[in-house]
Each structure stands twice: as C-alpha cells, then as structure tokens.
Structure 1
C-alpha cells in the first residue's frame, strides 16, 4: 500500500511513525519503540546559558515561515532517515495544516529549527537541526511554550537521547505512551491559537512559572 498523508496520520494515531534506512532508500517502514521519549510540557529545562542566549536577541524565531527549509536542514547530515518519499509526504501534511515548523534565524539565514505533526492535543516531534550554537535549543524552548499555550498535552520525542534528556525529556513504556496518546487525541488543541511568538522575556517568565 502506498503511503499517503491520511495513512501517516492514522499511523500516528495508532502510536507508530515512519522512517527510511537512508536518504537514497526508496522504502519506508513503521516504527513503534518499546520505550518512548517524551517531553513533559511542564518539565523543559532552560539552562543559564540558554537563558542568556534567549535574552541576547542574536536569533529571531518564526513558525511555518519556511517548512521546506527546516525539512532540508534536518536532512542535511551524513546519515538521515528523511528520503524523498518522507520529504514529499510531510510537505503535503504541512499544506493540509497537520505539520508545522518552528524556525530560528540569524538575520535572514535559517540556522536552526524543528518540525512535527499535530493531531488533537498531541505534537509528534520529527526532527530538528542546528547550524549555530544553541539554535535547536532555542527552537525547542519556543516550541514547548507554544504547545503549552495552545492546549497540547503530549509532546512525543520518539527516542530519548542524552541531549534531549539534558533538556528535560523522559522515557516511558509503550503501554504508558499509548495511554497518554489516547488521552491527547481526545483533546482539542491549536498550534496557532496563541498568534505571534512571545518575546524572550515573556517566554522565560512563563517557563519559570511552570518549572
């Protein structure tokens, strides 16, 4: 069966997500980790150095301004699971309003970002990239704030890595994930509910109130 945007959404709703072995591989397979990485939306850690970076104003942040650029940035590495099929499918999901990106800019240059899929109150984080110090961390800080403000209850990070753990991500069992996913799918959330992104100061104030 050929993959379609609708089939992708049904997969996410079932707790699975697609990957490819490499950029050149034409095949796509489904993955369901036995242990799942998630970001508790009240547990994102903003270190002192990241606070300084946010306050410095060296970066500006946007949402859905350059989804294709973020996809290309995430795929621009020696080994990637983003093949042409996945690239095209997520572009279609974005056009349909089910996939979103958050971009980090240095002037007019895209230097970092993150993208993922939304369903109900769940955000399925797919990938992120960084071409400057802390750019992906800045993207995640703004993303977590946006998800909280938009009414989301689940931020799926797929796999727990040491880097994500240092930012507050945790690992839960497959059964616990399915339970949280079912609850999140019943929630009405809106990625664009809050309008423009907040200032760094507002973001940091809200973060301190939830941490």
Structure 2
C-alpha cells in the first residue's frame, strides 16, 4: 500500500516506494497539490510527479535511478558532425528559455517510449510554467533556420539538473539540445543530470543506473549549492565536448 498525502504533509521515506516486482515500481504516494513549494520539496528528496489524465497526483521515487554524469556523455561521431554543421549554419543556435511555453507544449505532444498518450497533463504543464516563472525550470532549445525544431526542459536546484522531457521536429534536434545542456552543466559545475527512467536511448548516450543511496547522497551534496546565475548559452561552451573550430 502507498500513502495518501494531504496538503503540506511530509512525503514518506523514499525507501517505502514500491519495489521492482510491483505493478508500479517506484510509486511512493498519491494526493496533495502541485504547488511550486511542493514540487521543490519533492525534487530535493528525489521525488517527482507522474500521472495520467483523470488520475490523482502520484509521486514517484524510482530505484535504480538513471543518471547522466556529464563527463560520461557519449558523443557519437555522427552527432559530432551534426553539431559541427549546426554551428556553421546561419540562423541556427541554442537558446535557453526563449520559448519555454512552446517547448513544454511540444514535449506534451511527444509520448514517452511505450506510452500511447502524454504524461505531461494540463496540471503538470500549469505547475511547471509557474515553476519556470519562479526561475527554477528551464528550456534548452534547438533553433534552425530561425525556427524552433527541438529541445528539452528540466528543473535546476543548486548544482543539480533534473531532465524532464525532450522533443524533436527534425532529426537529432533533441540530441543537439541535450549535448548543449551537457556543455552548459560542465561550464557551471553541474556534474550530473537526473534522467528518471531507464531507457536504452539514454544508456547509449552515457546514462547509467544509480542506487537510491548514491542518488540521494548526491542530492544532499548539490541542491543547496549556489545555482548558475546566467542562463544564456555561449557558443564557446561547445568546447566542453568539441574542440574549438
């Protein structure tokens, strides 16, 4: 059984999340509101909301946790060539928070692997828009020919970034945004990106499963550090992955 929580009640100990043999591995609790304060409290503990249309708010703490250590990001030869071409193309650039509303809307229309519908329900979109307005949710955007063609969004607490969702309207556009996020994190002392779910796609790019103990210890060491102050992308940041051309 999972706990039903109300209003501002503390979250249960994450070790009480349902195990891998259950029908909902990682499910910790249900109920409560999606306020910015509540979300901030959850993420600090490695908890995140995930639920479908018509369902109550459900809170998850998955273990093991898929995490991308930025130093272990795997840049394939083909993606390296794609990024190099992207950087040489006029009217192509990485943007941060230039079109957050469009990014989260596009992500909401991109189902996760194995799902027919979206998990970014209207309640999630509203809550993360409010959190974005509060300065802790950010979008990384791939612009080509002056058009938004891909991107991702996620949460920043201190020196930790929690990836939420990606979308692409052109080949590799979301991968370019992820590579830019990795470079931004390297430039600002963020060593790990939470990816939540284990997928082959993330593993192919260097993400690895962390134990609950390792993940939560990392959060304790990072979420209270000073966050990046400048959320702009400098083309020189690409040198974190690709030598200056």
Q: TM-score, normalised on structure 2?
A: 0.78
- Tell me how large the CA RMSD over aligned residues is: 1.7
Which residue pairs with 1:73 in the alignment?
106
What's 2:76 paired with? Answer: 47
Rounded to whole Å, the distance in 2 between the matches of 1:66 and 1:166 is 28
Q: For the residues of structure 2 that align with 1:148 and 1:192, how far apart are their CA atoms?
A: 14
Give, in whole Å, the separation in 2 of the partners of 1:43 and 1:166: 11
> Unaligned 5+ residue runs, structure 1?
none
Query: Offset at 1:208?
Result: 5.4
Distance 1:8 1:121 in 2: 17
In structure 2, the partner of 1:207 is 241
Q: 1:8 aligns with which of 33, 36, 39?
A: 39
Task: Report the secondary structure of 2:59's partner residue.
Answer: strand
- After superposition, where does 1:184-203 map in structure 2 within 5 Å? 184-190=222-228, 192=230, 195-199=232-236, 203=238
Please state how far the C-alpha of 1:150 moved relative to its aligned partner: 1.4
Determine whether 1:62 maps to 2:91: no
C-alpha displacement at 1:160, in angstroms?
2.0
Larger mean CA deviation between 54-63 and 160-169 belongs to: 54-63
User: Can you list the C-alpha shifts for 1:145-183, whole angstroms capped at 9, x where unaligned?
Assistant: 101111223311111210011111111111111111111
SS of the equivalent of 1:177 reads helix
**Which 5+ residue runs of structure 2 have no aligned equivalent?**
1-6, 8-32, 111-115
| Partner secondary structure for residue 176 of structure 1 | helix
CA contact (8 A) 2:132 2:138 kept: yes
CA distance in 1, matches of 2:125, 2:62: 22
Aligned residues: 203
Aligned to 2:130: 92
Which piece of structure 1 moves more, 114-123 or 57-66?
57-66
**What residue is the counterpart of 1:30 in the other structure?**
59
Q: Does 1:18 align with 2:49?
A: yes
Contact 2:71 2:191 in 1 (8 A): no
